[in-house]
Amino acid sequence: MMNSMIAAIVLFALTYILMLIFGKYRPYIALASGVIFILTGMLPLDQIWSSIDWNVILMIAGTMGLVSLFVESKMPALLADLIMEKVPNVKWAAVSLALFAGIISAFVDNVATVLMVAPIALEICKKLNTNPVPFIIAIAVSSNLQGAATLIGDTTAIMLGAEMDMSFLDFFWYQGKPSIFFAVELGAVLSALILLVLFRKENGAIPKAESRTKVTDMVPTLLLLAMLLLLIVASFIENTPDTINGLICCGLLVIGLIYTLIRKKKLTALLPPLKEIDFTTIGILLGLFLMIGGIKNKGVIDAAANLLAEAGGGNVFLLYTIIVWASVLISAFIDNIPYVATMLPIIGGLAAALGVNPTPLYFGLLSGATLGGNCTPIGASANITGIGILRKDGYEVKNKDFFKIGIPFTLAAIIPAYIYIWLVYGV
């Protein structure tokens, strides 16, 4: 068992190193590694299907198709015009878009948020003739940050809410105290200041357009708004399918395609939105899901979680500190969903054994695991999606480009949250 666990760790680590070095070949590396996990038996055949997060895959496919119709309608161009009218320079345009993405992401999945906001950023960058790479990275990391702010912001938040029996309002006020929402927003304020520093040289004035872009079709915008509403409503309904968000996105895409077919009266009109589905991004995610399924099957995640738990001993503050920062580190390289799912019952058992309030440990886990994905370009689905959008537009994202924004942003967001949670719930 130990030898197979070591083999899984080595293959997993090697795959991530290769993905970081050879950015252009990430989907092939990820899928090849996933196949190796299957062929070697580290991921049994009967666990392949359940290892893949079909909800994320379907959401990406459906939303990308919808966004294609959204872009064709010229609505992103109009929104870009409106933003450019309100902000004084390029720096504030970038920060405003990141904050806008963060607000949406508090209520909608991070991947869907990136897919909706990125086209607006691309339009602004085209109008200003500036590099969109830092804009899209800022949008992705801001979306990840706000995923922990509300019960419906991210899958990990939903899982925590179920474990602690928290309601939507408990994320704002819990046990008679301001809850984790305010920890996240405190981090958001500081991280916004970091973005201002990072974009400090982008002081070019934004030219005011003589006239605003005219939207040619409002239906794609209405479909995206319907998607936002349905995703929020679905989060409040119990016993829905695990793929409910993906089904909503794909269902609305089907409606959009039918509408397009009726409107344009030719089958070829369906090809452009379908071509915009980024199968490169989907390939990377499929490979990662298979790899994570393999290391989970070999007990790597369980062993890591137990090691973290035992390292704290009986010192609650030390245990809290280890959980937060180890979660940041681990989530920079693996999907935070299986990690959080594994840690939740361990934290509950530890708190019961020590006779302490588990709240700071739970909140520390959520904040660390949610924000850790911002450290690397492949640490979160939203990052992979943002990079995929840039690649389709002809831009290759270098690791240093991502690290330059992702790492300081993560530290600026997690440090105030780390201090806040302990002062409010740990002391």
Domain ranges of the chain: 2-426
CB 124 within 8 A of CB 93: yes
Positive/negative CA dihedral, 262, 265, 268, 269: negative
- pLDDT by residue (tens digit) across 104-118? 888 766 777 888 888
CA pair distance 265, 191, nearest whole angstrom: 48
CA pair distance 171, 134, nearest whole angstrom: 31
Q: What are the beta bridge partners of residue 184? A: none
Positive/negative CA dihedral, 287, 291, 292, 296: positive
Element (H, E) at 177: strand 177-178
Q: Which has the closest alpha carbon to 297: 45, 56, 31, 27?
A: 45
- What pLDDT does 116 receive? 80
Enter the tokens of residue 57: 């895959």
Helix (H, G, I), strand (E, B) or coil at 137: helix
Q: Which has the closest alpha carbon to 227: 245, 213, 239, 211?
A: 245
Statement: residue 31 has pLDDT above 90? yes
CB 368 within 8 A of CB 323: yes
- pLDDT by residue (tens digit) across 352-400? 777 788 899 999 999 998 888 888 887 787 888 899 889 888 888 888 8
Please state at what angle helix 316-331 crosses helix 336-354, rounded to 10 degrees: 170
Cα–chain center distance at 358: 26
- What pLDDT does 182 receive? 94
CB 198 within 8 A of CB 134: yes
- pLDDT by residue (tens digit) across 208-222? 666 777 888 899 889
